[in-house]
Structure 1
Amino acid sequence: MTGPDERLDDVPATILCDTRCHLGEGPTYDAASDTAWWFDILERRLFETRLAARQTTIHELPVMVSALAVIDEGHHLLAADDGLYVRSLRDGRLSRYLPLEADNPATRSNDARVHPSGTFWIGTMGRGAERGAGAIYALHNGELTRLFADISIPNAICFAPDGATAYFADTRANVLCRVLLDPATGLPVAAPSELYVHGGTGDLDGAVVDNEGVIWNARWGGGCVDAYSPDGVRLRSVRVPAQLASCPAFVGADLSRLLVTSAWQGMDAAARAADPDHGRTFVLDVGVRGRAEPRVRLGPA
């Protein structure tokens, strides 16, 4: 729970999907088809919701997947526990594209997002969140490169609208970092620096950047999404109807609503009873506009 002196904004919130996720993560939105996608990592499920119709389809997966990027109208790129896969939307078939720490069964994929250039950043972590077991990679021109190592729980990967800055967090350390990038490639040109150190209730989790460059970060265990300025000032905190808020994504025709996933991982029966909407997926009317997610680029332009 948040502290007694912490003010949370209450905004209109609705349940987009009442099916509970053990570990809901990786939401993204395809504006062209008006479709939101997200995962239950631990239960190996992919959720697909047509927003206008509020119709949700749940796809069972053969691997543990944490994030996706849109390739084109018929294909997605999935970040899974042993590699990157191309998924056909027509029949759900998966084809291995590249291995990702496939020689290390102790790790899995976690947070990921596409840079405006089409470069895909992907984090890995220990399956038991072991200290320093994870890393962050970039898929650029069809090749995976490790950018940063010795990360425990990579989260909050997102990018400034101009593509010149990346953000990421190590949830265990509760530090949000900033990295200067080459906007044309989405690759770092400097070492990461601390932007914000979170103290108090909850932990930094997934994030997305709005049209004005504000960073919206789900606070795991805090029941909220926090908004940070590009220079690391917390601007507001918006209540989420579940304590384990995990990751946001802007959705809707004008990208003015915030989809937020949640989880019940690690909650005992008493904690779940005290948090009746645990694991559900929500839409918040936060009163700001996001940006359309770029498509991933698998080869040279």
Structure 2
Amino acid sequence: MAVKHPTSQANPPWHVAVPAAAELGEHPLWDVRRQRLFWTDCAAGTVHCSDLGHDTVVWTAPDGAPIGVSLLRACGGLAIATHEHIVLLDSDGRADRAPIELPIDTAAVRFNDGSCDPAGRLLVGTTGGEADGLGELFSVDADGRVRRLLGDLTEANGIGWSPDGRSMYFVDSGRPVMYVFDYDAASGRLGERKEFARIDPALGYLDGLTVDEAGNVWVAIWDGGRLHRYPPDGQLCDVIDVPVSRPTCPAFGGGDLGTVYITTARGEVGEPCAGHVLALPGAGRGIAPHRFAG
């Protein structure tokens, strides 16, 4: 059997899309309705919206606490995992429903990354920081019903689905493995957990991910300064250098969903792009993000 060797793209034409200098930029989302890029500065507790010419803070955590993730809603608003619960905002930025409470111990864990499945459920994970095994993954239905999907995690992170919605990819950043599950979008049930891809821990940590229209999984490598691309067979096929040591999460956007945007975190001194949202045009074509139906 032939062995596949990944293509290395050194010094690709990244440019600064949003000069943010965020402490911890995370989870970019392209809103195809408004043609805007949403992203989160988790450490600052702020949610941003950019037309790629002007960046606006559209929501700030009332207590200034860090937040986990912000996701698009079907109604046009946002679902934001704060320190304590999930806040639901309408398209004008006003709360239009009571917050959704999840059964977590906020003194021990915090919300981390999340995503929405093809049926409009919201999946969000938690992390206990350095404490291994405290993290969990939850699913939230449109009516607010909460189910626990996974436990014994270190840092629930990137989540994405294959184009047909039948496979779910998941990263626990405390482990050097990306998993894939059979996924039933009708019920939201997970099938057997299988290893999809593995990384040498010396190269960094698996972080946020996105899936393109061809089914390739793109994952940021924290402390590795790279973006990896895996086709559906899980064999690494592309290693794309990113000009920061701590890229956090990629997403496809732009009018044709043909540009990769990637959020980043502040890193070592001497990284002028650290904390900015970067863009790489022409890398592929993505899928519009699913929206929370609640």
TM-score, normalisation: structure 2 = 0.90
CA deviations 1:193-213 (Å, max 9, x no partner) are 111111031110000000000
1:57 aligns with 2:56: yes
Superposition deviation, residue 285 in structure 1:
1.6
1:233 is aligned to 235
- Preserved contact between residue 75 and residue 90 of structure 2 (Cα < 8 Å): no
SS in 2 for 1:65: coil
Extract unaligned runs of 5+ from structure 2. 1-5
Letter in 2 for 1:153: E
1:22 is aligned to 23
Superposition deviation, residue 294 in structure 1:
1.6
1:263 aligns with 2:265: yes
Correspondence 1:61-140 to 2 at 5 A:
61-62=61-62, 63-93=65-95, 96-126=98-128, 128-140=129-141
- Preserved contact between residue 162 and residue 183 of structure 1 (Cα < 8 Å): no
CA distance in 1: counterparts of 2:204 and 2:214, whole angstroms: 26
2:284 is aligned to 288
Structure 1 residue runs of 4 or more that deviate by more than 6 Å after TM superposition: none
Letter in 2 for 1:24: G
- Preserved contact between residue 163 and residue 186 of structure 1 (Cα < 8 Å): no
- Preserved contact between residue 77 and residue 93 of structure 2 (Cα < 8 Å): no
CA deviations 1:15-59 (Å, max 9, x no partner) are 1111211111121111000111111111111111014xx211124
1:168 is aligned to 170
Say how many residue pairs are matched: 284
2:46 is aligned to 45
SS in 2 for 1:253: coil
2:3 is aligned to none
- Flag the 1:94–1:58 CA change in 2: closer, same or farther, 3 A: farther
Superposition deviation, residue 69 in structure 1:
2.3
2:272 is aligned to 276
Superposition deviation, residue 251 in structure 1:
0.6
Superposition deviation, residue 158 in structure 1:
0.6
CA distance in 2: counterparts of 1:183 and 1:154, whole angstroms: 20
Letter in 2 for 1:192: R
- Flag the 1:251–1:115 CA change in 2: closer, same or farther, 3 A: same
TM-score, normalisation: structure 1 = 0.88
Correspondence 1:187-206 to 2 at 5 A:
187-188=189-190, 190-199=191-200, 200-206=202-208
Superposition deviation, residue 61 in structure 1:
2.3
SS in 2 for 1:272: coil
Superposition deviation, residue 231 in structure 1:
1.8
- Flag the 1:91–1:214 CA change in 2: closer, same or farther, 3 A: closer
- Preserved contact between residue 272 and residue 278 of structure 1 (Cα < 8 Å): no
Which of 150, 153, 161 in structure 2 is aligned with 1:151? 153
CA distance in 1: counterparts of 2:133 and 2:121, whole angstroms: 24
Q: Sequence identity, in percent?
A: 27
Superposition deviation, residue 74 in structure 1:
4.0
- Preserved contact between residue 24 and residue 43 of structure 2 (Cα < 8 Å): yes
CA deviations 1:146-196 (Å, max 9, x no partner) are 1000100111211101010001111111110000011323321x2211111
CA distance in 2: counterparts of 1:133 and 1:48, whole angstroms: 32
